[in-house]
Structures are given as C-alpha cells and as structure tokens.
Amino acid sequence: MPVSQQVLDEIALSRAEYEAIVERLGREPAPLELGMFGALWSEHCGYKHTKPLIRQLPHKSNRLLVAPGAENAGVVDIGDGLAVAMKIESHNHPSAVEPFQGAATGVGGIVRDIFAMGARPIALLNSLRFGPPDEPRNRHLLHGVVGGISAYGNCIGVPDVGGEIYFDRCYSGNPLVNAMCVGLIEGSRVISARAKAPGDLLLLVGADTGRDGIHGASGLASRAFEEQAEMRSAVQVGNPFLEKVLIEACLEVIRLPGVVGMQDLGAAGLTSAAVEMAGRSGLGLQLDVASVPRREEGMTPYEVMLSESQERMLLAVTPGHEGPVVALFKKWDLDAAVIGEFTPGDKARISDGKRRLIETPIRTLTEAPEYRLDAPKPRWLSDLQEFDFTSLPMPRQSPADVLLALLASPNIASRLAVFRQYDHYVQNNTVVAPGAGDAAVLRMKGTRKGIAVCVDGNGRLAYLDPFAGSMIAVAEACRNLSCVGAEPVALTDGLNFGNPEKPDVQYQLVQSLRGIGEAAEGLGVPVVSGNASLYNETRGQAIYPTPIIGALGIFDDVTKHAASAFKHSGDLILLLGALTPWAPPEALAGSEYLSAIHGKVAGQPRLDMELERRVQLACRQMVRAGLVSSAHDCSDGGLTVAVAESAVQGGLGATMDGTVPARWDAALFGESQSRIIISAPEANLPGLRRIASEAGAPLGAIGRAGGDRLRFGNLVDLPLSSAGDAWRNGFARATSG
C-alpha cells in the first residue's frame, strides 16, 4: 500500500522521490527502509541540490592528502611530517529549537569528523547569525548558542580561537550556527572511513544509543523550519566529558593492529555511518540491531538505526583483532560492541537477532537523486543593484557620531564578551588570540611552523550579488590570513541557503558556488571540505544566502606574524591596496553604514580579483620581512572603522590628513575591497614600497599613529577613549537587553 503524504512529510521525501525508490527496488519499501531512504536521501546527507555545483569547485593542490567528499574531512600536508584536517559543519535548525544543545552537539559533531581522520583536534571556530539583539528571543538564542559552544569546547579541552557573529532581521526565525574544527596529524598517517575486505568487523564504540535526534537529518535539517512544530525530540543531547574520553580512546586505538577504518556517527546515526562506510569500501553490510547497546527500553529497530545519539563512532576491524580493541575501550570505561561485518556484494542486510528486517542495495540507498538548478536572475535583484547612491541623503549625525555609532554596532563592536567565555589557550598553542588579529595563529610544537585559521562571510553582500558576494567571502577569509602573515593553503565552505526548490534560492546557489570557485581559483587555494545547509527559512521567509568560508594558512616561521593593534607612537599608517584613502559612493553597497544609518540593503558589490591577489601577496611579504608593526584589513565600517579598531586595540590615537570629499559618508565608511591598513616605522617605508611595487600593489601613506585622539581629515576629531568605550562595550550593551 502506498505510503501516506504525512509519513513522507515527516521524513522529507517528495512523492516523486518515493516513486523513484519503489521503481529502483521493484517493490514498496519496508518501514525501516523508508526511514533509511528518508535520511540518506535528505538534503543534509544526500546533497541533492548542491552535489553538481560542489563538484565544480577547485580542489587540486600538491598539498592535498584527502580529496573533498572522500572522507569525513579534508586533509592538507603542511610539511615537516605534519598534516591538518579541517571542516566546517552547520547545526542551524537544532540551535533554533534548543540553542544550548543544538550548538553544543554541533561542536561535538565537527570534532568527531576531525578525529575520525586520526587527527587530534587543536582548534575550534564558529560563525553565527541571529536576528536583531533588541528582540528577547534573539538574545535568548545568542546566549544559549554561545553557552553551548563554550561548555562543550571547554570541557573537551579544544581551544575556541576565533569566529564571527552578525545580526540581521532575516535570521530572526532561523539562526545560523556553523562550527569549524582543525586537527593535527603527525607522520601524515590519515585514517580512512573504509573497511579493507569482506569479513572486517563493524564495532560501535562510545555512548549507548537512545531516542534523541531521530529524524534530525531529514525532518529537521532538510525542510523549512516552522516555529510551531514540536521538534525537540529531533535535537540531540551532548556529553562533552564522554567525548573527551572518546577522543583519547580513538586516537589510541588507531595505533593497534587490525584497526583499518573509523567513521563518526552524526546525521542519520547508524544508517548514514554504516551504509556510507560500506559504500565507500565497495562492500556490503550485515548489521544486527540487537547487538547495539541501548540506554532506553523498548527501542524499535527503526529508532536504533535512525537515532542521532551523540559521542558514538564506528570502527572497521580485521577479524581476530577485536579483542584488544574492546579491551582498550573498556580501559577508558567506554562500550565497544561488535554489531556486524562487511560482506561481499552490494547489499545492506539489517537484522534483529535472527529476524531479517531488510535487504537493500547500498548503491540504491546512497545514490540520492541530483537536481539541476537553472533559475534566471530575479528582477528585484537588478533593481537593488542599480541603486543610485547620489540620491542617498546625507545623515543628520556628524561624521564623528556616525563613527561612534558604527563602532558600537553589534556587527562591528569587539566580541570580547563572547571570546572571554571560551578557553582559547588550552593546549598552549595559541599565539594570536581571538580578536587580537584578523586570524588566530597557533604554533606547531617542536617546530618553527605555525598555522592561521579564520572564518568569514557576509550575507548582505551575497544577497545583493551571490557571485560577487561569495567571491568577497573567499577573498576576505584569505585576506585575514595574509594580514597575520600566513600563506592561504586550504578552504572549507559552509553553504547556508533557503529552500532550493524556489527559483530565487536556486539562482543564489548557482551563482554563489560559481563565485567561490572563481575566487578560490584566482587565489590558488583549494576547497578541501565543506557542508551545505539548505531550507533555512521560516514561514516562507528565507535567510540571506550566507556562504561561510573557513580558511587555513601556514607559516614556515610562526614568530614572523602580525596582529591588528598599533604598536608604536610615530609609526606611519599606510593603506595597501589604494593610493587614496577615500572610497567612492558605490563602495557603500551592502555596507554596515547603509544598513545601520539608513536601514537599507542595496548596491552592487565589486571585487578586482587580480588586485586582491597582489595586495595579499605584498602584505604577506611585508609581514615576513619584519617591516610592519600591525596589519588589519578594511571590511565592515570601512577605512575609518579599521583605523579606529587598530588605534583602540593599541591604545594609540591616529591622525589622517587631507580634505575629505563632500560625499564624506562614502569616503569614510565605504567598504571597498582589497584594502589593508598597515602601521610601520617610517624608516621601513623604502622597503615597504619596494615590496608593493614588485607585487604590483598600490601603497600610500595616509597618516600617523600616536596621541590620544582620532582625527580623520577635517571632519572627525574625537577622544580615543570615546571610540574605545563604543567599540569595547557596544556588543555587551546591545545584547544585554
């Protein structure tokens, strides 16, 4: 009998997809099969709308050890026998329902992706989006998410070293919680999520299985979020203390003979982990749900297979070697149970003791349909892009008051109130802490090497032009690395979009992936991993298209790095990337000034990729040569905000001479791309000019650091203390209620 529409809605399968399943099987699916198809064909697991686009991203690199999608995370060689695993994941809808547990288990999941590769997790980052903080529910979500991130990361002993938080009305019903983790592999020994041969045993280790998280991948993460729906049962509950033990046990067990593969249990639980592990291995699977340790009575096979209980891993172990593996986990007070084995052929056979439940081709389960997206550019977008900035009225506030308002904006002000909740010095590798530089910097103990990591994205810019906005996200993430002196070597992308069945979102997806690919190609940095989170909308209202870019850079000598604070009174302030400091009116496109002061989101974002490449190259060379005291990119708020941030952080004022153009709002607060503020002793100017000239990057002196005031041309003259109060306390004031 055909399944009801209510059941299909519950597992987020369309009627056409159900009919395709029936056609492929040649029969109606059993209830357990249907639940497994719902999970594996979900957007969250199957990537139905994004796979064809993701395949087009550049991923070739002589540093690449694991290709995107082949395993749990991407892995790149950083030299000296070291490799780094990296990935970003989203936990958006769970965090909207239960912000603390949603964010905490997002951290737990991304950490498992990393140590599943045999890498020790060494750093966490996060990218967060919420609705306006003057609304109580948005503050509740913010504080819950930050609490969940800090509680989980602090308990497992992995430092949270950076991130970003932005607020906009489009995220009120659908916050974004993207977590990134990087891990270190010594000896470049990568663990695969595959079995080696038929007969290899399947061991489930870690926590017992409960009823939490059922339908998390299909029902919660793969359809539009509706606030009135009761979805708390689809949100997992985490235990960070158990995860810490699991990390240590798994990193120890991979040194035992016979351990050939490891896979985390995340979205869709056993279904995804076991079936996809068999699919990667080119093998079949025999799994007995009766052998799965449980923490609740009366669980059905359906619940066991679809549970998303946290802190669980699967191991593939050669027969005869399971005894030492079980003993090792027992030493760590963890369960380890043989629940099945890999078999010849292509069948997933699930049984409950002696009772066979299903026998299904693995290829049918794992090969979700792929949808081609070809929607045209919407008319409304052209209208926004053609906005006439000469018609924009000048603000009633003075330039100084506008600067203070922007410095206090929750989208710009210091995130110290958040960062102080994270332990960013645990493991004793952090060289540049969160907020002190444009990217976090970590040392690799025992070597001179180091890495830099950051996350970046701007939903407003991607909304105005998905192609250019996504290019800018890649460019700024790499620019942040270049500002601290690191060479960008790898990217991971978190793709947060609305309902892909709608033409506008389809257009955004296609253009955004094209922009990411073109920028990554232009900067010569591969995309090594990522995550797609679609259906981010509530009551028909989609979020801005929000591609988040995580970036990894490396140092041959980690002592040669830069931070963003001015250091020395009398240092020159230079602008790398332009000869004149004043931005043109069109640079207000998608700017924080335009949104915060005028309540508008309009304009056409632009990026000159060749200029971007040259500017970043010059900045890295200047930092490595030891010629700069500080480096900080111009982004939200434009040049004046960037200078003010460096001044406040360093406790040194700044003076910029020259007459500001009549359109002072654009000149001061326009967000032209490819610009970096550098401070340096005047004696270093010849060397800086030589590097800039050889790189083909514009460089101009625009002022000097020192004193206790901020002066910008003939328009702004205010005490540094006033700017410092606005920037240091603006976020806490805006989010305290």
Q: Which residues are catalytically annotated?
A: 44, 91
Asked if 187 and 81 count as a contact pair (C-beta separation under 8 A), the reply is yes
- Give φ, ψ of 74 to 5 degrees: -80, 150
Q: What are the CA-CA distances from residue 201 to residues 95, 169, 501 (Å)? A: 35, 50, 41
Asked if 158 and 294 count as a contact pair (C-beta separation under 8 A), the reply is no
Crossing angle of the two packed helices 322-331 and 240-253, in degrees rounded to 10: 140
Going by their DSSP bridges, the two strands 347-352 and 654-656 should be labelled as unpaired
Helix H or strand E segment including 91: none
Terminal CA-to-CA distance of the chain, rounded, Å? 55
Q: What are the CA-CA distances from residue 210 to residues 192, 334, 559 (Å)? A: 27, 16, 48
CA distance 346 to 362: 5
| Chain position carrying tokens 């991923």 | 59
C-alpha closest to that of 294 among 337, 247, 253: 337
Asked if 268 and 42 count as a contact pair (C-beta separation under 8 A), the reply is yes
Asked if 235 and 212 count as a contact pair (C-beta separation under 8 A), the reply is yes
Residue 244 CB neighbour total at 10 angstroms:
17
CA distance 239 to 346: 35
C-alpha closest to that of 515 among 472, 459, 464: 472
For 344-415, strand residue ranges (E) read: 347-352, 355-361
Q: What are the CA-CA distances from residue 138 to residues 128, 169, 446, 533 (Å)? A: 12, 10, 44, 20
Is the alpha carbon torsion for 474, 477, 483, 489 positive or negative?
negative
| Percent of residues in the chain assigned helix, strand, coil, to nearest 5 | 40, 25, 35
CA distance 400 to 669: 11
| Chain position carrying tokens 């003075």 | 398
Q: Taking the CA atoms of the chain, what radius of gyration do you get in angstroms?
A: 26
Q: Is 332 helix (H, G, I), strand (E, B) or coil?
A: coil
CA distance 433 to 564: 11
Asked if 266 and 113 count as a contact pair (C-beta separation under 8 A), the reply is yes
Asked if 649 and 542 count as a contact pair (C-beta separation under 8 A), the reply is no
